[in-house]
Amino acid sequence: MTPEEMENLLGHSVLQGQQQQSALVGAQQQTILAEEERGLAETQLDVETIISRIYHLLRQDVYREKQDGTCEWTVLVNQQARTLSDWGVDRIMQVVNFYINKNNLLSNYDEKQINRIMKQFLVALNNLMLHKYEILFNEPSFEECKRILQERLDNKKKVKVFASELLGIKADEAAIEKELMDELEKRIEYEFEKVKVEKRKENIREYELIIVQLDAIVYAAYNRAYRGEERGSIRRHTNISEIIGKPMQNPNQNKGGAFGWLRG
């Protein structure tokens, strides 16, 4: 074998090895990019975080920091302070799941379509609250009503005692308490129902705020689908990944092999 043939053989072997190595590196890069692309798409289309946040906010859970520095949702200690009932939260979440999902994010809506959908959403949500407010909003339990009535009795008792002191009369607290209890006994059912109605009215006053908050969240989600922007963003990222993932051409490929510099 002549020196020239030996050089060509060695050059071919080295070039073949470089090409195989380049192909292996390219395949590895493609795999990494594919995983990154899949992860980005899943993150971009992840609606569970949004839905979970809405759920906790409707339940009025508290987002608190733990000792390790991370944060988590914790259940509101005083459940009677909640605005919506369990049924109310579940019913509104059914509506939210219908409007916020991957299919809608990947849709292609123009401004007129988004405005029409938002109008339908708000009208339907408003009607739901107006027609089913009695079960949608939270009402106090028997124990809560009992506590509220007891507080009112105590306050009335304090007022009567104070009035007696102003008149210079020694107040008989036991007699005052018995008088108040006798008055309440004749209308106990009415007072219990009155407490329930009053507490429900307090909760209903927040219904406008709930609608405004849900409107903002759903509207933001639909704006992501404005003119197909969400799927367009994913497509653009895919094209960039494909360009980056293409293996570079071997600089020695067209220069006479790995030993071409000897020819110079």
Picking from 133, 152, 136, the residue whose alpha carbon sits closest to that of residue 144 is: 152
- The pLDDT assigned to 15 comes to 62
The mean pLDDT of 238-258, rounded to a whole number, is 48
Cα 23 off chain centre by: 43
Q: What is the mean pLDDT of residues 151-171?
A: 80
Q: Which residues does 65 contact at the CB level (< 8 Å), separation at least 6?
A: 71
Question: Who wins on pLDDT, 137 or 22?
Answer: 137
Q: How far is CA 192 from CA 150, 177, 179, 182, in A?
A: 11, 19, 19, 15
- Alpha helix positions (H), the chain: 3-44, 48-58, 86-99, 102-105, 111-131, 133-136, 142-166, 173-185, 188-204, 207-223, 229-245
Q: What is the pLDDT of residues 183-208, one digit of tens each?
A: 777 788 888 888 888 888 889 999 89
- The answer to whether residue 135 scores a pLDDT higher than 50 is yes
Can you give the pLDDT at residue 14?
A: 58
Q: Residue 45 domain-assigned?
A: no
Torsion angle defined by CA atoms of residues 56, 59, 63 and 64, in that order, rounded to the nearest 10 degrees: -130
Tell me if 189 is assigned to some domain. Answer: yes
161 pLDDT more than 80:
no
92 within some domain? yes
When pLDDT is cut at 50, 70 and 90, the band that residue 83 belongs to is very high
Q: What distance, in Å, lies between the first and last C-alpha atoms of the chain?
A: 23
Residue 152, both tokens: 């009112």
Number of domains within the chain: 1
Please give the Cα distance from 210 to 137 (Å, whole number): 12
**Does 2 fall in a domain?**
no
Does the residue 234 lie in any domain?
no
pLDDT at 13: 62
pTM for this predicted structure: 0.63
What pLDDT score does 144 carry?
Answer: 85
Is residue 223 a part of any domain in this protein?
yes
97 within some domain: yes
Spatial contact of 59 and 89, defined as CB atoms under 8 Å apart: yes
Tell which wins on pLDDT, 183 or 109: 109
93 band by pLDDT with thresholds 50, 70 and 90: very high
What average pLDDT does the segment 109-134 reach? Answer: 92
Two tokens, residue 190:
């009415």
pLDDT at 95 over 70: yes
Tell me the C-alpha distance between 137 and 84, whole Å: 4
Q: Residue 97 phi/psi, 5° resolution? A: -65, -30
Report phi then psi at 252, rounded to 5.
Answer: -90, 0
How far is Cα 107 from Cα 200, in angstroms, rounded to an integer?
Answer: 40
Q: From CA 140, how far away is CA 192, in angstroms rounded? A: 10
Beta-bridge mates of residue 109? 226
CA distance 84 to 135: 9
Give the domain extent around 85: 79-228
Evaluate whether residue 182 is within a structural domain: yes
Asked if 128 contacts 136 with a C-beta cutoff of 8 angstroms, the reply is yes
Confidence at residue 4, expressed as pLDDT on a 0 to 100 scale: 65
Is the pLDDT reported for residue 90 higher than 60?
Answer: yes
The number of CA neighbours under 13 Å toward the Cβ of 204 is 17
Beta bridge partner(s), residue 73: 63
Q: How far apart are CA 96 and CA 214, in angstroms?
A: 8
